[in-house]
Structure formats: structure tokens, C-alpha cells
Amino acid sequence: MQTTYRIDRRFVLSLVGIQMIAAGLTAMLAFWVWAPLGILTVLILLNALRVGVRPPVVARTDAEGARIGGVRAAKPVSVAWSDVEDVSIRGQQMVFDLGGDSSIVFSLAYLGGRANEFVRDVYERLNTANGYSRFDPSA
């Protein structure tokens, strides 16, 4: 089952705000300079509405691996659980160590309140992929 993590609302509000400013500027230019710019204004407003209603995805996890990154985070990178040697948390960043000098750093700030859920999900999927299970002393 795939789990999708969307960007936190505080980043969505700044994205929508920037687009509203851009829409205002293009509307002004459409009024004074060239009327067809009004079409661009409408497109920018529609995109702001889309982002506000359905924020962009910044991470996805499934049984095979994770896709990390997206709008404002970084270029999306896919990583298979079998390629991950270690995962650590440094402050507000999760570091996926891929061995050697290769690693992927993902800021948990993009997830806001769902950061703990993402961390738990990553560790559980890594354990499942490597065949680890929780120790049960009663067994």
C-alpha cells in the first residue's frame, strides 16, 4: 500500500500568496498594456486554487521504496529500501545513507505535523524489507 505525504499548510499558504501577487501583477498589466494577459491571470488564479485545495506531494512510500522530494523540496529522487544502509535523523532532517559517500537528505519540516508519521513509516518499511520484526518477549 502506498502512503502519500503532502507539503505542510504553512508552505501551501506561501505558494498561494506568491501566486496571488503574480495574478495581481498580470491583471494590472492586462488592464494597462495588453488585454490577453487576462488569460494568464485566470490560469495563475486557477493554479493557486488547485494548490490550496490539493497541496503538492513531497514524499511517497510503498513496499518497494520511497520517492522523496517535489515542489519546493528538491528534485524527486526514488530510492529502493534494499539500497538504504541506514536512516538517521539530524535535527529536522532525515538522512538516507545509501553506502559510500552517497546519501539523500530530506527536510521533515515540509511535512509539518505528519513528520513523526513519516519517520515511523520509513522505519517500519525498512524493517519489513529487511525481514526484521519487533521483539516479543512473550513468544
Render pLDDT for 41-79 as a digit per residue (tens, 0 to 9).
999 999 999 999 999 889 999 999 999 986 655 678 889
Neighbours of 95 (CB within 10 A): 13
Contact at 8 Å (CB) between 96 and 84? yes
Confidence (pLDDT) at 73: 54
Q: What is the mean pLDDT of the chain?
A: 88
Least confident of 23-27, 46-50, 130-134: 130-134
CA distance 32 to 28: 6
CA distance 26 to 79: 40
Confidence (pLDDT) at 71: 61
pTM of the model: 0.79
Confidence (pLDDT) at 127: 87
Confidence (pLDDT) at 32: 92
pLDDT at residue 88 tops 80: yes
